[in-house]
Structure 1
Amino acid sequence: MHDAPSKSGSKLLPANAYTKLAPGEEYQPIVPAADTRAEVTPWSIGLGLLLTIVFAAACIYMALRAGNAIEAAIPIAILAIFFGKLRSPRSTILENVMVQSVGQASGVVAAGAAFVIPALYINRVSIGWWQIFLACAIGGVLGTVLIIPLRKYFVKDLHGELPFPEATAINEILVTGESQSAGAGKILLISFAVGGAFDFLVEGVHLWNANLSTTSMLGSVGEKMAGLGLELQLSGLAALFGLGYIIGIKYAAIIASGSVLSFLVLVPLVKLFGSSAAEFVYAGGKFHIADMSATAIFGKFIKPIGIGAIAVSGLIGILRMGKIVVGSVTLGFKGFSRKGGGEVEAPRTQLDLPPRVVLLVQLGAMLAMGILFFVVGWITPQDSGEPYAFGDCLIFAVVGMVVGYLLSFLFTPVGAQAIAIVGTNPVSGMTLITVVLTIGAMILTGLKGDAGMIIALVVGTAVCTALATSGALITDFKIGYWIGSTPRNQQRFKFLGIVAAALVVAFVVPLMDDAYHFVVPDPSAPPGSDRVISNDKVLPAPQANMIAAVSKGLMDDPANQPWLLYGLGGIVAILLFMAGLPMLAFALGMYLPIAINLAVLGGAAVAWLVARTGGREEVRRARSEQGTLIASGLMAGAAILGIVTAVLRLPAVGAPIRFISVGEEYTFHPVVAGVDKHENFDCDDLRLAPGQDCEVRQVENERGERVATVFVDDVPRRPPESCAEVVVPEQAECSEELGSRTHAWYEGMPGQLAGLGMLLLLAVGCFLLARLGAKWALGDQPPPEEKAADPPA
């Protein structure tokens, strides 16, 4: 827990900004209530929306790829000040607060979606972009209007009693940054460019191989290690490197420790003791462990342990916050029945939306939720293929609406108070509880299958988003209280930011599935099987996989779930709790692939080393303080260019990645009834003209390997690249999908050594950026063409 500062860290803030007020004492903000300087302007709302779009995309991308979202509020505050200084006249401090308030919606909406929505794709349930948008938007709106009645209590009545750690950090940036943060903005933008260029060259151009492994780099030694189930991997991406840079060495090491247990202890043990079994049958599957790779063993037997550990860690986190939960729910009932906060005679700095408007928005959000659930039940058939009756859909809608609203109402104050006290939000545990309770309600009403899962997970998304929004908004309110913003303006335009972020999320999540797929065919499945596994290499989405496992186990196929492995994970979480170690960090490490976690550890190690360079203490501290800027820039830039790369992979736009990729060769190939005709190229697959002769011959390829090659009239044929070139049986579907083949140099030692070298170069670049940023911050080398700073307008 963070303690509240004993005094203001800025000369511009009043002396009692962070201290408890004496009886009768009033806090006077920087901008008095009578001051009518610019606050809501086209500039502040436009820049806020732009940053919302950028950081919503970045947050959802990072959450899907690494299980951790970007903390968007601080970089948005820095960029608000930086861009505000470039315009004439300069932005006022109230405009900068409004930019930050609107933009902060990006992270909360992304968190709500990333924790739940991918679970539908993982469970192979079809969902439209509009359903994603409505789930996120409704949850964000509910989180906003449910916390408004509690604003005065948290922000004014408890002034100086709650530490508000995140709000304090942002407040200091907005206040002191008026004269100091132009250099910080430039470091952030340079890091953005570096991160974007680096990951685009890796994943778009494939100029070097960032997927490093001991199997490839150590030659025969690595192959022998792999035979024993031992393989180290590292994904050298700027996005993951930046994540480690901002997490810090302590938590990165704990996360990596989880991977060490999974990959270097549990996987080899399964390989050792399971190889003697001719066939191992468990959780509805049959496995030949002797033939399974370390990655396959991890996916089948170790990931469920990680899922169990994540789930129990979240629940223990809720239990540890029991007093906060109970007290917050009580506050929620009091706030709902309270009139205060919206009187016309209140000063500008205490004006909320009128209570009547707040109540109408709540009712509107509830009604929208009910309509959404009714439509889901109406358009989604039962397992038998028959549609649900009108009355059934109405029951589903009412039950889903009531459960969703009640849980949002109960959990919203919890999120706000948790953020105000400890700076963290118990989203994982609350979301898990929400999904379990909603599934129970759906089962009791007779709703199972796809429709039941969609409604349960949409409720989970809405509640998760509401919970995250309440924490973000109470932070905004406190910042506005310190500086002198108008709460009503923060509330009105928070709705706009939520809608914009929800639209971005509704675009990015389906895009990532189309480009990379949340689930991919299981390589260990028998031919013709439709068995799939989570795409851990690209889209691990750990929280969503946990939700997917729980929802599928409860609603769809409880008999064939690895409950024992989930239970073992729960025991691991309990042992971590008893040992006083961070449970969720270790559990995420157990679940996430070691390639991700070692990259995160590498970034944290570089940040740790950079903070210890420099001859003087103030230099070391200044270099350490650049970490948030460098990491945020790397992650945001990599995420935005990562989304561009995903677009370049789409067959719908012609897959332009085919023309820029160096290390991998991309081609279209037809897939008929789930069978890849490119991989299974045969004369029987081809559409031949009358009289044409076709045969298969063994031919030596460029690697010196003898492979089967199709010849038509003695001319070698390339594999078919479109559905028009293959025979499609009646009632079968054919789709053209993008496939790739890696070049030998890229997959082998040259490509991997190049990847290792570029990762080291990235580390050197981070050091140089930290040194440059520290010089600018200390005034040793002012940024070029920098004017003397004026006091805040």
Structure 2
Amino acid sequence: MKQIGAGAVAAGGFITLLKTIPTIISSFKDSLGSLKEKGATGEVPRTEKDLSFKYVIIGSIVLILLMALLPQLPGESILNKLLVGLLVVIFGAFFVTVSSRIVGLIGSSNNPISGMTIATIMGTCLIFIAVGWTGKIYEPMALVVGGMICIAAANAGATSQDLKTGYIVGATPRNQQIALFVGAIVSSLVIGWTVHYLDTPTKAMMDQGITHAIGSPTYAAPQATLMATLIKGILGGDLDWQFVLVGVFIAITLELCGVKSLSFAVGAYLPLSTTLPIFIGGAIRGLVDWKQKRSGVQLSAEEEELGKGNLFATGLVAGGAVAGVIVAILSVNDGISATLAKVSAHEGLERALGAGGYQLLGVLFFAAMGYMLYRIGRQKQVSIDKL
């Protein structure tokens, strides 16, 4: 099933990118046109002052050199690492443009970052095969390219939103870009430490021979497993293409039926424990919309975004992310885990209710949260004029 899901996700990503080819072409034309216009005109209004394009060129060269010289990055030689750095800059130039353009025109929810990452990984692996680089030693190198493009595309989408907001309120793009640059550096240090800390196995894991927490049953990371499956399969030559092609044709069939194949493919690949809550949330949203239509309520796009249900759901997403990080950090530390186990009511509730009753209690709490979301979604929307 994973091979089928991997093929469907890969095909869905490529189809999504194919749909954005006109956007890619127009974006590059607009970018080149804006550079010519800025070079031809003298005084530039404050609200249109950007950082010079030379910083992009210098930054790209510095990035390639850093990737070639840093010993922490995988690679047999400097030449290997130079090619990896060059691929990062080339793929980044395309996918950063696509990401920022799509987010600016449509929104973050339509940004196909997964598709871009998968396309980058597969393209990198095929280039490696073309130059004769096959085997396990090159797998981490392909992952470095895919990981950096994933981060770049995500940052590009966020930057596009920030600059669009700044344009509306009259900000200076140059100052925003400097602030975003500082924020990216600081956040990368914090995120790097967090990921390294979460990857530390507990004593129980080490007793089982687990050396990395991320990828273990505790932190399964199914999308990361998908990337690893594609890289190992292509570079190792042992990818089961018959199942991958089944997934590819499923994605093509869905597109012909008018269904977004990438969303369906990701849902087919991810475990049910991940996708079922998303489905239930979507069903609640659909029920609220259906009730509003029956009541004759017609809302604009702005009013829907500012609806109490949307705002509450946004809080749930943010709260779930923060709570997940907190629980993960607490669970990594053996001392904290032992202290929390002493005050935990888990064993007492399980003895009192039984294993089935204990699980039923969790289902009841989840159902209560879903009902709360439905009730809040049905409440009167926030008026834009009052904001």
TM-score (norm 2): 0.81
In the alignment, which residue of structure 2 is the partner of 1:749? Answer: 356
Of residues 172, 181, 197 in structure 2, which corresponds to 1:495? 181
Q: Is the 8 A contact 1:623 1:771 kept in 2?
A: no
Q: Is 1:607 aligned with 2:285? A: yes
Q: Is 1:359 aligned with 2:57? A: yes
In the alignment, which residue of structure 2 is the partner of 1:316? Answer: 15
In the alignment, which residue of structure 1 is the partner of 2:297? Answer: 617
Of residues 243, 260, 263 in structure 2, which corresponds to 1:585? 263
Q: What residue identity is the alignment partner of 1:303?
A: K
In the alignment, which residue of structure 2 is the partner of 1:350? Answer: 48
In the alignment, which residue of structure 2 is the partner of 1:457? Answer: 143
Q: Is 1:571 aligned with 2:178? A: no
Q: Distance in 1 between matches of 2:119 and 2:87?
A: 12
In the alignment, which residue of structure 1 is the partner of 2:222? Answer: 541
Q: Distance in 2 between matches of 1:598 and 1:451?
A: 37
Of residues 10, 21, 24 in structure 2, which corresponds to 1:325? 24
Task: Call closer, same or farther: CA 1:746–1:552 in 2, change over 3 Å.
Answer: farther
The aligned runs of 1:104-123 (5 Å cut-off) are none
Q: Is 1:417 aligned with 2:101? A: yes
Secondary structure of the 2:44 match is coil
Task: Call closer, same or farther: CA 1:329–1:488 in 2, change over 3 Å.
Answer: closer
Q: Distance in 2 between matches of 1:341 and 1:421?
A: 26
Shift of 1:546: 2.5
Task: Call closer, same or farther: CA 1:496–1:594 in 2, change over 3 Å.
Answer: same
Of residues 182, 191, 195 in structure 2, which corresponds to 1:505? 191
Secondary structure of the 1:748 match is helix
How many residues get paired? 377
Q: Is 1:643 aligned with 2:325? A: yes
Q: What residue identity is the alignment partner of 2:360?
A: L
Task: Call closer, same or farther: CA 1:778–1:334 in 2, change over 3 Å.
Answer: closer
Q: Is the 8 A contact 1:443 1:555 kept in 2?
A: yes
Tell me the alpha carbon deviations over residues 11-33 of structure 1, each in whole angstroms, 9 at most, x when there is no partner. xxxxxxxxxxxxxxxxxxxxxxx
Secondary structure of the 1:497 match is helix
Of residues 342, 362, 366 in structure 2, which corresponds to 1:659? 342
Task: Call closer, same or farther: CA 1:339–1:323 in 2, change over 3 Å.
Answer: closer
Shift of 1:756: 2.1
In the alignment, which residue of structure 2 is the partner of 1:6? Answer: none
Q: Is the 8 A contact 1:537 1:593 kept in 2?
A: no
Root mean square deviation, CA, Å: 4.0
Shift of 1:551: 0.4
Tell me the alpha carbon deviations over residues 120-139 of structure 1, each in whole angstroms, 9 at most, x when there is no partner. xxxxxxxxxxxxxxxxxxxx
Q: Is the 8 A contact 1:434 1:463 kept in 2?
A: yes
Gaps of 5+ in 1: 1-301, 379-387, 523-527, 666-741, 780-788
Structure (1/2) with the larger helix percentage: 2
Q: Is the 8 A contact 1:412 1:470 kept in 2?
A: yes
Of residues 761, 769, 788 in structure 1, which corresponds to 2:368? 761
Q: Is the 8 A contact 1:511 1:646 kept in 2?
A: no
Shift of 1:495: 0.6
Q: Distance in 2 between matches of 1:628 and 1:515?
A: 37
Shift of 1:535: 5.5
In the alignment, which residue of structure 1 is the partner of 2:88? Answer: 404
Q: Distance in 2 between matches of 1:572 and 1:408?
A: 29
Q: What residue identity is the alignment partner of 1:492?
A: I
Structure (1/2) with the larger strand percentage: 1
Q: Distance in 2 between matches of 1:755 and 1:322?
A: 46
Shift of 1:440: 3.7
Q: Is 1:466 aligned with 2:152? A: yes
Shift of 1:552: 0.6
Of residues 300, 314, 320 in structure 2, which corresponds to 1:632? 314
Q: Distance in 2 between matches of 1:521 and 1:415?
A: 43
Q: Is the 8 A contact 1:746 1:752 kept in 2?
A: no
Q: Distance in 1 between matches of 2:268 and 2:257?
A: 17
Task: Call closer, same or farther: CA 1:622–1:491 in 2, change over 3 Å.
Answer: closer
In the alignment, which residue of structure 2 is the partner of 1:699? Answer: none
Shift of 1:313: 0.8
Shift of 1:358: 4.0
Q: What's the % identity of the aligned pairs?
A: 28
Q: What residue identity is the alignment partner of 2:263?
A: A
Shift of 1:617: 3.4
Tell me the alpha carbon deviations over residues 82-133 of structure 1, each in whole angstroms, 9 at most, x when there is no partner. xxxxxxxxxxxxxxxxxxxxxxxxxxxxxxxxxxxxxxxxxxxxxxxxxxxx
Q: What residue identity is the alignment partner of 2:186?
A: A
Secondary structure of the 2:189 match is helix
Shift of 1:408: 1.4
Task: Call closer, same or farther: CA 1:433–1:768 in 2, change over 3 Å.
Answer: closer
Task: Call closer, same or farther: CA 1:377–1:764 in 2, change over 3 Å.
Answer: closer
Q: What residue identity is the alignment partner of 2:229?
A: A
Q: Is 1:376 aligned with 2:70? A: no
Q: Is the radius of gyration larger for structure 1 or structure 2?
A: 1
In the alignment, which residue of structure 2 is the partner of 1:426? Answer: 112
Gaps of 5+ in 2: none
Secondary structure of the 2:43 match is coil
Q: Distance in 2 between matches of 1:536 and 1:587?
A: 22
Q: Is the 8 A contact 2:20 2:98 kept in 1?
A: no
Q: Is the 8 A contact 2:67 2:73 kept in 1?
A: no
Task: Call closer, same or farther: CA 1:601–1:406 in 2, change over 3 Å.
Answer: closer
Q: Distance in 2 between matches of 1:537 and 1:581?
A: 33
